[in-house]
Structure formats: structure tokens, C-alpha cells
Amino acid sequence: MKLKPFRSRILAQAEDSLEKTSESGLVLVKDLDTHPKAKVLAIGPGTINKKGVRIKVSIKPDDIILYDPKSAKTITVDEAEFIVLKEDDIVAVVDE
């Protein structure tokens, strides 16, 4: 199945999980106030303003982003997990 984001939404794949397990088997939970990283897979075409002009999304596929985990929607397709979020929910683009 191929997914194409709508309007100014972004399809990404999270690089971090909220839980990790230590070598001894303890579950380590990240601070939920931190901003996880994700790799942008696809972007929507942008929104159209009141004058009929399209405002394109300002990031591009393959960008690494920090996002607000409270506003991201998780979807599963063919057993792979993705996140969908609005451009406004991106906190920063990581420049490595």
C-alpha cells in the first residue's frame, strides 16, 4: 500500500521508541516531555490560502525532524509503524 499525505501533513518513521530495555531486562521509559526524532518519508502538497495560492510544506523527504509526540498519530501499514503529523507539530529539523 502506498501512502500520500494530505495537505500539510507529513508521513514519517520514528527513529526512537518511547521504551527501551536495559541489558538486565529493565524497561527504561524516556521522559515524555522530550521530542523524539523521525525521518520524513513523504510530505503533502501543502495548503491553499484564501487567495488561492498554494503554501508548500517547508521540509522535504529524508529530513530528520524533532516532533511533538502528543500530536502525532500512529498508523500501522503492512506491520510497519508510521507517524502522521501536521507541519505545525514539527519542533525542529536536525542539521547533522
The predicted structure's pLDDT at residue 18: 44
Mean per-residue pLDDT, 48-77: 92
25 versus 35: the higher-pLDDT residue is 35
Residues 6+ apart with CB under 8 A from 46: 7, 8, 54, 55, 56, 57
The predicted structure's pLDDT at residue 41: 95
- What is the Cα–Cα distance from 20 to 12, expressed in whole angstroms? 20
In eight-state DSSP terms, residue 87 is G
User: pTM of the full predicted structure?
Assistant: 0.76
Most confident of 11-20, 53-62, 73-82: 53-62
